[in-house]
Amino acid sequence: MEHIYRSLQDLEKKGEYVKVGLVGAGQMGSGLVSVAAQMPGFRIVAVADLEIERAIRAYQESGIDENQIVVTEDPVHAEKVIVQKKVVVTKEAKIISHIPSIEAVVEGTGVPTTGAEVALSCILSKKHVIMLNVETDVVVGLILKKLADNAGIVYTVSAGDEPGVIKELYNFARTLGFTVVTAGKGKNNPVNHYANPDDCKAEAEEKDMNPKMLVSFVDGSKTMIEMTEVANATGLIPDIPGMHGPKVDVPDLQKVFVPRKDGGILSHSGVVDYSTGKVAPGVFVVIRTDSHIIKKDLKYYALGEGPYYLLYRPYHLCSIETPLSVARAVLLGEHTVNTERLVAEVVAIAKRDLEPGHVVDGIGGYDVFGKIYVTAEARELQGIPLGLSEGAIVKNRIKKSEPLTQDKVSLNKDTVLFQLWQIQNRFMQDMEITAVCGREEWGDE
């Protein structure tokens, strides 16, 4: 962090800055624009949003005069505008990846299909990609990281959201040699898997939120997505499909999220989970050690008797922390959190009976919610990833609470997301073949 701080200060002194593009000027995106405006050596130079006025408003609210904001769909013109130290607003997301001086792009739409298109376009243009769009990463993050690595750029999920913050705690614990028993987050409302936009309309209007976004929180899909990201970044897995999700407050986390043999609820250590007690907006990691010396020290430092101990961060600041991931990528060439392996997946589950011919509406809608499974279980089930559910056509009747499976729906194949998913599946098959053959590298090259 010290290196990033000093590097940005040095850029500011020289009248230079890290040039960043943003796709999506919603609640998180607009907040990011304002944070960037107060930072040294850092600037959001272009924002893409389907609602041009929303992007313009994000800039104005950050303190930028209207005469400094230029609307254009031409990347050449956009580059000239940026050279003049003005900022760009555009409706077309792909324009951002074609502006030469932009070094990194933040994808903040939360839409899986859009996220895949933007990420791939940026990778092909050799621009660092910072995903505020975990919905995309849990579907195709493994292959996007592989492509980015091959291109020599950074692809990463953002700091500030729960997965990034949990990964920081996890890295801290594992670096010091502790065993991580549970990594988890707080959920600030009870799960209602069958919530829909009608149910959440009034609350969404009160909070100035997109109803579908609010639904994804209420129905548990967002929690499943976030903890799947943590699982695939760490190798920890859900103890049961959907996780336990008990109502536990902070003082008891290290008593409950431990194996049953020690009075907890888990069948084994090394899991992801969440609590609906008084934990949110915090995240936590439960750790253990067998060293009697370290136990003595931890007791002295007020972490309790052990053998289980709690590491707890009482906040996560979402997009406010995103610039840290951008700077880390541009200045250090490092990622924050990534899908390193596929140990868990989010499967789409029907919220209501779905009849043949019905077109599924996707995350936060009327038709499906997400449920985390161990990858092997999801594959045996032939479950459809939640992020691929939008636009799928039902072939055979699916009852309420049943998973959407490959024999019951036809996926929308005309998306970059689907195509990347297919490539990722082949990549995983090749890795499995390589492992069986005892070879250390993937493929023949």
Report the Cα 230 to chain-centroid distance in Å.
9
pLDDT at res. 439: 45
Q: What is the DSSP string of 174-221?
A: HHTTPEEEEEEEE-SS---TT--HHHHHHHHHHTT--HHHHHHHHTSH
pLDDT at res. 155: 98
In order along its 445 residues, the chain shows pLDDT tens digits of 899 999 999 999 999 999 999 999 988 999 999 999 999 999 999 999 999 999 999 999 999 999 999 999 999 999 999 999 999 999 999 899 999 999 999 999 999 999 999 999 999 999 999 999 999 999 999 999 999 999 999 999 999 999 999 999 999 999 999 999 999 999 988 899 999 999 999 998 888 888 999 999 999 999 999 999 999 999 999 999 999 999 999 999 999 999 999 999 999 999 999 999 999 999 999 999 999 999 999 999 999 999 999 999 999 999 999 999 999 999 999 999 999 999 999 999 999 999 999 999 999 999 999 999 999 999 999 999 999 999 999 999 999 999 999 999 999 999 999 999 999 999 888 766 554 445 444 343 3
Calpha distance 370→57 (Å, rounded): 33
In 3D space, the residue among 235, 192, 188 whose CA is nearest the CA of residue 342 turns out to be: 235
- Residue 444 tokens, joined: 């023949």
Q: What is the CATH number of domain 344-432?
A: 3.90.1210.10
Tell me how crowded residue 203 is: count the other CB atoms within 10 A of its CB.
14
- Residues forming CATH 3.90.1210.10 domain(s) in the chain: 344-432
Beta carbons within 8 Å of 338's beta carbon, 6+ residues apart: 137, 141, 145, 155, 156, 157, 233
pLDDT at res. 322: 97
- Residues forming CATH 3.40.50.720 domain(s) in the chain: 2-159+320-332
Q: What is the CATH number of domain 2-159+320-332?
A: 3.40.50.720
Q: Strand (E) positions, 49-167?
A: 69-71, 87-90, 104-107, 128-131, 155-157
